[in-house]
Amino acid sequence: MDTKKEASELSEEAIRLIIECGTRVDDLYRRFRELRLRTDDLSFQGALLNVEHSFFMLVQAFNILKDNVKLLDVASKKEELR
């Protein structure tokens, strides 16, 4: 079983999924931000800001995951030195 090839294929699949999910999350983040900017209720703005922050943290986690998956893909394509 070639685990490096399998890891490379999984990496490609994961990157596509991360980008797709990240795009959808980014859209939701923007919509919540727009909603916060349109409301006058300060306590509601605070709640919306907390949601925005959570989406921001999620996007950061996606970025870290994407970077690590890319590193795994690079490692899977390297030949072992003897």
With respect to residue 34, please indicate whether it lies within any of the assigned structural domains.
yes
Range of the domain at 9: 3-76
With respect to residue 81, please indicate whether it lies within any of the assigned structural domains.
no
Reported pTM:
0.79
Q: Output the six-digit token pair for 22.
A: 């990240």
Whole-angstrom Cα distance, residue 30 to residue 55?
10
With respect to residue 82, please indicate whether it lies within any of the assigned structural domains.
no
- What residue type is 69 in one-letter code? V
With respect to residue 37, please indicate whether it lies within any of the assigned structural domains.
yes
Give the Cα-Cα-Cα angle 22, 24, 26 (nearest 5 degrees). Answer: 65
The pLDDT tens digits of the residues spanning 1-59 come to: 688 889 999 999 999 999 999 999 999 999 999 999 999 999 999 999 999 999 999 99
29 in Cβ contact with 59 (< 8 Å): yes
Q: Which of 25, 24, 49 is nearest to 36 (CA)?
A: 49
Q: What pLDDT sits at residue 49?
A: 97
With respect to residue 52, please indicate whether it lies within any of the assigned structural domains.
yes
With respect to residue 71, please indicate whether it lies within any of the assigned structural domains.
yes
With respect to residue 65, please indicate whether it lies within any of the assigned structural domains.
yes
Number of domains forming the structure of the chain: 1
